[in-house]
Amino acid sequence: MKKELKLMKGNEALAEAVILAGCDAYFGYPITPQSEVLEYLSLEATKRTGMVVLQAESEVASINMVYGAAGTGKRVMTSSSSPGISLMQEGISYIACAQLPCLIVNVQRGGPGLGTIQPGQADYFQTVKGGGHGDYKLLTLAPSTVQEMVDFVDTAFQLAFKYRTPVMILADGALGQMMEKVQLPDQKERTKEIPAWATVGKTKDRERNIITSLSLDPHVMENVNLQLQEKYRTIEKNEVRYEMTDCEDADYILVAFGLVARICQKAAHLAREKGIKVGVFRPITLYPFPYEALNKLADNVKGFLDVEMNAGQMVEDVKLAVLGKKPVEFHGRMGGVIPSPEEILHKLEEKLVGELV
């Protein structure tokens, strides 16, 4: 049966997917360019599924409400944009260490500081290299279409529960604001089964459940860390996702995540029209990063151009993947400026094709 297509704005499509995924609770605070998530849920969610939707007094309160509610074993989430996500970092660190599942959505805007309300990708480091304090990792999915804004919601919840870990959907302001056609999934049921670790009231037949990230004994705390690291190694083994477009015969590879990957696909078409064989490599999971796939690709190509809406963040991981086998160049725009396909092609010719001829 062919499903109905709908024309939806990225933020609203994501919010609709949240309801359809059977999410139990959303806690959030308004911030441009993602306020439509809270608005859409406030209008639609409670009446349709009975889901809790609460506007908190701050992002700090939001993430701590998520922490409390996630501890009950329910499907819970928050969303925000860059400055708000900065405020949540302490809470994310607690959630990661306490091993609780939840979804956090960052519809990025350009920074630093108050920055701009236009799209950006400058939260890559914050998202995949820590952000908060301590050794933890944030499983991160980077959508490049409104359809993926929808699809990644349920995927994120599944991964969060599979590994008892917070999962981030790292989008950007353009994806949040633009309209595209989407196919929506079926309505899932709200959470019925409560996991054994959840704090829902201690019954006689079990020990009390404690959700904490504290151990005063350094050896106990080291073991907590070792357990976390073991989990991250499993995630790195099992959950790497990426997309390759026209990479088989390519001489040059454009590497980009999110929206920029689609601009790169257009740039690759323009390049092929000029006879330059270009492919696009798009990491879908930013953590775990597809190091191996990129490394293999390096054997068959002449060079890489990494394109981002920041000053050069993911390019460090691309270099770590390529390990010096081939040149890795970078082109970035900042402050909310989106690079054009022509500009990317020009940079590719300038930095790689011209140099290597």
Partner 1 sequence: MNEKTMTEEQHFEQMIAEESICINENLVYERPETLTDTPMHYCPGCGHGVAHRIIAEVIAELGIQDQTIGVAPVGCSVLAYNYLNIDMTEAAHGRASAVATGIKRVLPDKYVFSYQGDGDLAAIGTGETIHTCNRGENILIVFINNGIYGMTGGQMAPTTLPGMKSTTSPFGRDVSVMGNPLKITDLVAQLPGTYYVTRCAVNSPVNVRKAKAAIKKSFEYQKEKKGTCFVEIVSNCPSNWKMTPVQANKWLEENMLPYYPLGDLKKPSN
72 counts as binding partner 1 under rule CB under 8 A: yes
27 binds partner 1 (CB under 8 A): yes
Looking at 21-29, 121-129, 304-312, 320-328, which segment touches partner 1 (CB under 8 A)?
21-29
| Contact between 57 and partner 1 per CB under 8 A | yes
Q: Does 313 bind partner 1 (CB under 8 A)?
A: no
Q: Please pick, from the candidates 64, 79, 121, 145, the single residue that binds partner 1 as defined by CB under 8 A.
A: 64
Nearer to partner 1 among residue 135 and residue 249 (C-beta): 135
Counting contacts by CB under 8 A, is residue 56 touching partner 1?
A: yes
Report the distance separating Cα 190 and Cα 209, nearest Å: 23
Whether residue 23 contacts residue 187, with contact meaning beta carbons closer than 8 Å, is answered with: no
Please pick, from the candidates 213, 225, 295, 300, the single residue that binds partner 1 as defined by CB under 8 A.
213
CA-to-CA separations, 101 to 94, 161, 339, in angstroms, rounded = 12, 5, 35
Is residue 211 close enough to count as binding partner 1 by CB under 8 A? yes
Rank residues 88 and 315 by Cβ distance to partner 1 and give the closer one: 88
| Interacting residues of 15 by C-beta distance below 8 A, sequence separation 6+ | 36, 37, 40, 41, 44, 45
- If one asks whether residue 76 binds partner 1 (CB under 8 A), the answer comes out as yes
Nearer to partner 1, 59 or 308 (CB): 59
One of 28, 71, 131, 303 touching partner 1 (CB under 8 A): 71
| Window contacting partner 1 (CB under 8 A); options: 118-126, 139-147, 210-218, 290-298 | 210-218
Confirm or reject binding of residue 209 to partner 1 (CB under 8 A): yes
Among 12, 16, 24, 329, binds partner 1 (CB under 8 A): 24
For the chain, the straight-line distance linking the first and the last C-alpha, in angstroms and rounded, comes to 51
CA distance 71 to 49: 21
| Binding of residue 23 to partner 1 (CB under 8 A) | no
- By beta-carbon proximity to partner 1, the closer residue of 209 and 295 is 209
| Contact between residue 166 and residue 141 where contact means Cβ atoms under 8 Å apart | no
Kindly state the smallest distance separating residue 343's Cβ from partner 1, in Å: 44
The site for partner 1, by CB under 8 A, has a size of 38
Q: What are phi and psi of 92, to 5 degrees?
A: -65, -40
Q: Which residues contact 326 (CB under 8 A, 6 or more apart)?
A: 298, 301, 302, 303, 304
* Residue 44 lies near partner 1 (rule: CB under 8 A): no
Rank residues 59 and 151 by Cβ distance to partner 1 and give the closer one.
59
CB-CB contact of 254 with 280 (8 Å): yes
Write the DSSP symbol of residue 179.
Answer: E
Q: Does 337 bind partner 1 (CB under 8 A)?
A: no
**HEC sequence for 58-85:** CHHHHHHHHHHHHCCCCCEEEEECHHHH
What is the footprint of partner 1 within residues 78-137 (CB under 8 A)? 90-91, 94, 98
**Closer Cβ to partner 1, 213 or 295, answer by number:** 213
Q: How far apart are alpha carbons 227 and 95 in whole angstroms?
A: 15
Compute the distance between CA of residue 350 and CA of residue 347 in angstroms, rounded to an integer: 5
Exposure b/e, 78-117, CB count within 10 A at least 16 = b? bbbbbbbbbbbbebbbbbbbbbbbbbbbbbbbbbeeebbb
Per rule CB under 8 A, is residue 357 in the interface with partner 1? no
Q: Is the peptide bond before 327 cis (omega within 30 degrees of 0)?
A: no
Q: Which stretch binds partner 1 (CB under 8 A): 24-32, 136-144, 340-348, 349-357?
A: 24-32
Out of 202, 233, 274, 296, name the contact with partner 1 by CB under 8 A. 202
Which residues between 229 and 288 bind partner 1 (CB under 8 A)?
A: none
Binding site for partner 1 (CB under 8 A): 24-25, 27, 52, 54, 56-58, 60-61, 64-72, 74, 76, 90-91, 94, 98, 199-204, 208-214
